[in-house]
Amino acid sequence: MSERAARAVFDLILIKVNAANGAEAQEATPKVARSLEEAVTEWRKLIAVHWKPGSRISAESHLRAHIMPKLGSVAVADLTAKRLQDFVGEITAGRSGKRIVNIMATLNSVLRHARMWGWDVPRVSFAELSMPKVVKAPVKTIAASDIRRLIAAADEPLKTILRVLASTGMRINEVLALKVEDLDFDRKIIHVQHSVSPDGTLGTPKSEASKADVPMPDALTKILRAFLENKAYRENPLGLVFSNRNNRPYSDNKLREYHLAPLLESLKIRRVGFHAIRHAVASELIESGAPITVVRDQLRHSDVRITLGIYGHVIGNSQRNAVNRLAKRLVA
């Protein structure tokens, strides 16, 4: 063997030895123990910052009230299925199943991204954890007759806000975010483009499907034109249809607590929120015979199954009434 060939063989052996020694050294080097608090800090900077304000506020509530007090100092490497199941048990008492699921969803997002960054996080399927049963809350609605009473008794701008809600089925924060430019009086269309976020800023609607056009009924067209010419309308830099004294969007919470709730009490109507009017609109449309796809489009649900899941009971009543009318004509 030539000297050149021998040196090549020696170099190859040396490379293999060094690689083996490097691997052993790497295995012997302990991984840095990172706490959940560190993961949350990175998650806030890299992930949560891109979430909608409402989602961020909810996640911060979960972190502040539940996750950080109990798990903040724990190493992410120690968050095994057993430790996470213990955490579920610790926070379950006195809280709804939906609340627990939402808290765990926030924790899952933090751990999932930490794992993507190469942190030593056990692979735990959150779907396999034993969780409290999520009980579907009953739909709170309000009778059409009571909506008419509310509108008749309300002062501006609540009166016009209620009229928009009852004519379109829009969400309250979509109505409060309406701009004058969103009202197409020529085509009689309302462009739903924004929604008031919990922090009082104008954000996007609930989903991509929610960002759509809805018909503006003739009666509502006249009402909105009159409101914009009324002294109750405040011109403002944002171009809002409904603006408070600070030229900002109204808060749905304050509007409900200080205006809607007292009005309901004075009229002896069961206390409900603005969303009850949206449910009433859907129920009225279904009862009037509108196809479920039309109801879906009016409410701007992304899937007709969402509409069916919420208003299936109304469809059942509508079907029963239709069959009764049929029997009267053909059998009685």
Residues 64-105 have pLDDT tens digits of: 999 999 999 999 999 999 999 999 999 999 899 999 999 999
* pLDDT classification of 52: cutoffs 50, 70, 90: confident
End position of a domain, from candidates 103, 128, 153: 128
Biggest distance spanned by C-alpha atoms of the chain: 112
CATH number, domain with residue 267: 1.10.443.10
Residues 188-200 have pLDDT tens digits of: 999 999 999 988 8
Kindly tell me if the per-residue pLDDT of 23 is higher than 60: no
End position of a domain, from candidates 61, 94, 128: 128
- Whether 298 maps to a domain, the answer reads yes
Percent of the chain with pLDDT over 70: 87
Domain span including residue 246: 144-322
* pLDDT classification of 4: cutoffs 50, 70, 90: low
* Four-point Cα dihedral 205, 209, 210, 215, nearest 10: 150
| CA separation for the pair 39, 32 (Å, rounded) | 13
Whole-model pTM: value is 0.74
Confidence (pLDDT) at 327: 76
Residues 156-207 have pLDDT tens digits of: 999 999 999 999 999 999 999 999 999 999 999 999 999 999 888 898 888 8
H or E, element range at 196: strand 195-196
Confidence (pLDDT) at 17: 54
Kindly tell me if the per-residue pLDDT of 223 is higher than 90: yes
**DSSP codes, 112-138:** HHHHHTT-------GGGS-----PPPP
Same domain, 294 and 155: yes
